Copies of this chain bind each other. A is one copy, B any other.
């Protein structure tokens, strides 16, 4: 990730712009309205391969020349997309072997959007060719300030079981494992008689009579990530051969499945992310904050671009809830507060046709007189007022571990309980921290964690021995580690650690896990803590103490009377273990005790008042998002940027409103 200048002055603001759907005269209206709204950046060309290369090797750039010139004349910068997420009809017809085959053998054809096989040589060649043509033509166009490769790698389809993919998987496995003996050992093929004697017999984990080899599936997930990333690198390098602007591709944070964003973030010049609220969740703004923190974390703290979010409802969920007045502003300022220096939408103008016509837009079907467009114009104006935030950084004393390999592994079949999931556990622990007002980074288990007062591991099913050593060292050196149940179970091959469940964490936590005791659906029990008791369901464990103190005890359920929560002093630090799947409320007393150990002091603000601080060289910026239905007072000293009001110690933020205070640079240092 090279250090290049930020693509726009001030906060980037705009959205996807696909004017090829409208007659030319609409473009002029669009540009005038963009200026009204303060738009300074639009993403162009993301799905236009079929227009740019109408027949293989024939290009038509006239319309794009026109568009870029128009935008530039109006002072709107361009994030220029490569269109490779949606190969044209001719590509499918000419290279049918490039089509994706699903796990159960269905071939996916043309007529939606993406994607063909990332392993297809024909696809890779065609993608490099069109990216090269675009870079060659527009590298020096003054409108172009950013390159946007592809779109949401891994969605709507990641894994491919076609012959083309199987052949590539074999090559990747040879590279990874070196020999069949090594592969047989890593995959544990001695079980169920799966030993391989010939590389040609190794395939993808497609439909089988019973459950497929889990290590094979885990490797296939890694391979899928690798192939997608290889496609990105090919396009990125093709662009870089001609162009100097920063290059990005849009991630999906907590919704990214096939892409290990820790690795991806190293490949881009600037991280960008797409986020959409999940309608069934009445607290979807907590998931939004999680997503923003995760994005900033994979960007290693550097400013990032919210490349897509929605002005109101989306169209692809079951019941697509519209945003209520003010909600879009709150969402945008949460992203901003958590490190985004660009606030972009999908998309500028609502499409009349196609699969996404019911997706909201900056300019909705209802037109410029609408509530949504009014809020879009207001948001542009507000972002202009907070432009000085650009480049400032978020600081956190707490890290939450997040590892896509563990997500992939835990999601496989035949785990002790299918009710215990990676994403749910991460969200629940995150939500507890969010409600406590504690700002967090996410971290990889192998990261240097020494700058954090507290490290939380909500879902570390797969944890390598090296990661276990890293966490143990962190504790020994004075850190506080909080580990949730079903952790440290398997190694990088999804093999149970020698020494049993949780072996890599035994030293840090002072407990051994003898047996998992999942609960039946509807079954509950209690955990008696110091002076209180909380309910739990889903999961319990049979713990054996190996030095730890008991801080919570099961009452009822299969682990009745056994330790539930433990605390272990190790070296200069402390290791906590929670052997059950506590909910957000039940976690409160546990976290309170852990904070005390770690020296983390939650701010004690009312729940629903979201406050994050961004630090610049000379000032701190306190971004406040009030999710409550009533005005709230905040302790703050400084100038509120949206209103120029001066707060002398306390300021009121209206119901559902946002505020940004410039305050003196916080003296308080970070971490331990």
The answer to whether A193 has its CB under 8 Å from any CB of chain B is: yes
Cross-chain contact B108 with A190 (CB below 8 angstroms): no
Residues of B within 8 A of A447 (CB): none
Q: Do residues A208 and B109 form an inter-chain contact, with CB atoms below 8 A?
A: yes
Does A664 have its Cβ within 8 Å of any Cβ on chain B? no
Q: Is A62 an interface residue (CB 8 A)?
A: no
Task: Render A89-126 as a binary contact track against B, CB cut-off 8 A, 1 for contact.
Answer: 11011000000101011111111111100000000000
How far apart sit A419 and B418, CA to CA, in the bound complex (Å)?
26
What is the size, in residues, of chain A's interface with B at 8 Å between Cβ atoms? 120
Do A355 and B515 touch (CB < 8 A)?
A: no
A451–B86 CA distance with the chains assembled, in angstroms: 52
**CA–CA, A273 and B319, complex, Å:** 35
Identify the interface centre among A201, A321, A354, A517: most chain B CB within 10 Å of its CB: A354
A20 contacts across to B, CB distance below 8 A? 190
With a cutoff of 8 Å between Cβ atoms, the chain B residues found around residue A413 in the complex are 355
A261 contacts chain B at the CB level, 8 A cutoff: no
A260, B414: Cα distance in complex, Å: 28
Whether B210 lies near A352 (C-beta < 8 A) is: no
* A49 in contact with B193 given A200-B93, A520-B319 (CB within 8 Å): yes
Closest residue of chain B to A94 (Cβ to Cβ) is B201
A89-B195, A194-B89 in contact; A501/B366 too (CB < 8 A)?
A: yes
CA distance in complex: A500, B357 (Å)? 11
Chain B interface: which of A238-246, A491-499, A526-534?
A: A491-499
**Chain B proximity of A304: nearest CB distance (Å):** 25
Q: Which residues of B contact A357 (CB under 8 A)?
A: 490, 495-496
Q: Which residues of B contact A318 (CB under 8 A)?
A: 417-419, 521
The 8 Å CB contact of A501, one of B198, B280, B365, is: B365
Judge whether A355 and B520 touch: CB under 8 Å: no
Within 8 A of B (CB), among A204-235: 205-216
**Smallest distance from the beta carbon of A322 to chain B beta carbons, Å?**
5
Q: How far is the CA of A106 from the CA of B533 in the complex (A)?
A: 51
| Minimum CB–CB distance for A214 against chain B, Å | 6
B214 touches A48 (CB 8 A): no
A339 CB within 8 Å of chain B: no
Contacts of A321 in B (CB 8 A): 517-520, 558
Q: Is the CB of B355 within 8 A of A315?
A: no
A102 to B313, CA, bound (A): 32
Contacts of A156 in B (CB 8 A): 209-210
A556 on the interface (CB 8 Å rule)? no
CB <8 Å contact, B418 and A214:
no
Task: Mark interface residues in A48-88 (1 if CB within 8 Å of B CB, else 0).
Answer: 11110011000000000000000000000000000100111
Given contacts A109-B208, A190-B51, contact A521 B280 (CB under 8 A): yes
A518 touches B372 (CB 8 A): no
A266 an interface residue at 8 Å Cβ cutoff?
no
A287 at the A/B interface (Cβ < 8 Å)? no
A415 within 8 A of B: yes
| A106 pairs with B107, CB closer than 8 A | no
A107 touches B207 (CB 8 A): yes
Q: Does the CB pair A512–B195 fall under 8 Å?
A: no
Chain B's nearest CB lies how many Å from the CB of A512?
A: 7
A312 at the interface (CB under 8 A from B): yes
Q: Is A172 an interface residue (CB 8 A)?
A: no
* Chain A 134-166: CB-based contact to B (< 8 A → 1; otherwise 0): 000000000000000000000011000000000
Q: Is the CB of A319 within 8 A of B417?
A: yes
Shortest Cβ distance from A210 into B: residue: B156
Is A652 close to B, CB under 8 A? no
Task: List chain B residues, Cβ under 8 A from A414.
Answer: 315-316, 355-356, 358
A496 CA / B356 CA spacing, docked (Å): 11
B210 touches A322 (CB 8 A): no
List of B residues within 8 angstroms of A315 by Cβ: 414-416
Q: Which residues does chain B contribute within 8 Å of A51, judged by CB atoms?
A: 190, 193, 195
| A187 within 8 A of partner (CB) | yes
Does A346 lie at the interface of the complex (its beta carbon under 8 Å from any beta carbon of B)? no
Please tell me if A668 contacts chain B, counting CB pairs below 8 Å: no
In the assembled complex, the Cα of A364 lies from the Cα of B188 at a distance in Å of 17
Q: Which residues of B contact A515 (CB under 8 A)?
A: 312-313, 322, 360, 364, 366, 370-372
Q: Is A279 an interface residue (CB 8 A)?
A: yes
For the complex formed, measure the closest distance between the CB of A132 and the CB atoms of chain B, giving whole angstroms. Answer: 18
| A351→B191 contact, CB < 8 A | yes
- Contact residue among B324, B418, B498 (Cβ-Cβ distance under 8 Å from A558): B324
A201 touches B92 (CB 8 A): yes
Q: How far is the CA of A191 from the CA of B349 in the complex (A)?
A: 12
Of B356, B416, B519, the residue contacting A191 (CB under 8 A) is B356
List B contacts of A54 (CB < 8 A). 195, 197
Closest 3 CB pairs of A and B: A188-B353, A191-B354, A112-B208
A-B contact pairs, 28 of them (CB 8 A): A21-B190, A89-B194, A89-B195, A93-B200, A105-B107, A109-B207, A110-B194, A111-B203, A111-B206, A113-B210, A188-B354, A191-B355, A214-B354, A214-B355, A313-B416, A313-B515, A313-B518, A319-B419, A322-B518, A352-B496, A353-B494, A353-B495, A357-B496, A365-B501, A366-B513, A367-B500, A371-B514, A372-B515
- Further 10 A-B residue pairs, CB within 8 A, beyond A49-B193, A113-B192: A50-B189, A51-B195, A93-B198, A104-B106, A111-B205, A111-B216, A113-B193, A191-B351, A319-B417, A319-B518
